[in-house]
Structure 1
Amino acid sequence: MYYDIVFHFDKGIDELNITISNIKNYYTGLPKENFKAVLVVNGPGIKLMGKESSFSPDLKKLHEKGLNIRVCNNAMIHFNLKSEWLNPVCHIVPAGLLELVDLQRKGFVYIKP
């Protein structure tokens, strides 16, 4: 089977807790499968991606499992956030929405917790 997946996060703390839980459950549910998992963050959700965020430990652990975390440069600019502020496991992409479109065109299943 084909299990590549993209999780989309763009809200607040409660939604990020759900998103992280969903991602953990995905990895737990597919221990023997080879898949790509991506988290795309845009909008106000970007404000929770700082290296000092309480979510940093969870994001680091998921990144170590293979989660690719991509954050929207447009959101970074909109909220006046600098790359030095960002969690180092995050990768800046030009536009989160375009990233979502591109991944879906490549066959990734879209999940918005």
Structure 2
Amino acid sequence: MKTLLRGLLAAFLLTAFALPATSAFARDKVVYHIDDAEHQALAALRNIRNQLDTAPDTDVVVVAHSQGVDFLMESYKDAATVGPLISALRARGVKFEVCELTLKLRKLKKDQFVLDADFTPSGVVELTRLQQKGYAYIKP
């Protein structure tokens, strides 16, 4: 009986102290959803910069689809403004994912995009998967 009680007490103590310790070391994870570059991109990039300035260990992924992919194109009208922000954020570990379905529908080519861009088969599916993995969702 004493052995059983000791075992239960040990299990309780491990559970009580292990859970808070695990969450204390968990990194914040955020996915930014951009589907309208003209109205969202610059604000999103500034928000991400501010977030990383405050919480530098945050994992950030930007998923762009539809008209949102434009700010990652080399020919973007505000490339001089967003380009340096994109590069600086990429250097801090931010991932920029471009929807390949959008490329197909809009007849765009991967070589039209900045080198900092990665590609995902479907932006909407990527948003879903990241949220299922615990990423907080932000749409600027």
Residues 50 and 56 in structure 1, CA contact (< 8 A), matched pair in contact too: no
Q: Give the Å deviation of 1:43.
A: 0.8
Residues matched between the structures, number: 111
Pair 1:60 & 2:83 matched: no
TM-score (norm 1): 0.91
Percent identity between the two aligned chains:
26
Query: Distance between the aligned counterparts of 1:4 and 1:23, measured in 2?
Result: 12
Pair 1:49 & 2:67 matched: no
Aligned-CA RMSD value: 1.3
Residues 52 and 58 in structure 2, CA contact (< 8 A), matched pair in contact too: no
Partner of 2:48: 23
Partner of 1:91: 118
Pair 1:8 & 2:33 matched: yes
1:70-89 mapped onto 2 (5 Å cutoff): 70-89=97-116
Q: Give the Å deviation of 1:14.
A: 2.9
- Higher share in helix: 2
Q: Give the Å deviation of 1:52.
A: 4.0
| Deviation string, structure 1 residues 63-110 (Cα, Å, up to 9, x no partner) | 001101101001111111101111111111000000000000000000
- Of 78-87 and 52-61, the range deviating more from structure 2: 52-61
Gaps (5+ residues) in structure 1?
Answer: none
Counterpart of 1:35 (choices 58, 61, 64) is 58
